[in-house]
Amino acid sequence: MGESETYEGIHAVTRSPTTAAIAAYNDNPSGTGAAIFAKKKGSVGHAGFFVGNVEVTGSLTVQGVSIQTLLQRISSLEQRNSSLEQKVNTLQNQLNTAISNLTGRMTAAEVEIRGLRQISHTHSI
């Protein structure tokens, strides 16, 4: 057990090319205790901090939800997003077509109104 007011409670350094500086094991096959436990008081800082790659060979759970479940949710949301983007593009194309059709009809109606005005002026003279 290590304890300190000003430095690490436990400090380990190795220069071995294949061995960890600290190894922790829970050798009780039916035990539920973790081999490593970290707790940080307060909201500033972290209970764990890693510089470099981290490998997890078992399941990883974040706030009670497995990473696998979260990845499946993300994948599902990406698919739904793609589907919605396709629908928005389809609606945009339909809207553009409708605007084009209305613009053409308005132009035709304006030409017709001009023609009627000319006829009306011709007959009123």
Residue 118 confidence (pLDDT):
87
Q: 40-94, pLDDT tens digit by residue?
A: 899 998 888 888 998 999 999 999 999 999 999 999 999 999 999 999 999 999 9
Residue 28 confidence (pLDDT):
92
CA distance 78 to 29: 40
Q: How far is CA 27 from the centre of its chain?
A: 39
Structure token digits, residue 115: 């023609």
Nearest to 38 by CA among 13, 8, 18: 8
CA distance 36 to 23: 9
pLDDT band at 8 (very low <50, low <70, confident <90, very high): confident
CA distance 32 to 75: 32
**Please, which residues have CB within 8 angstroms of residue 59's CB and are 6 or more apart in sequence?**
66, 67, 68
Where are the chain's structural domains?
A: 61-124
Q: What mean pLDDT, rounded, does the chain reach?
A: 91
pTM attached to this predicted model? 0.52
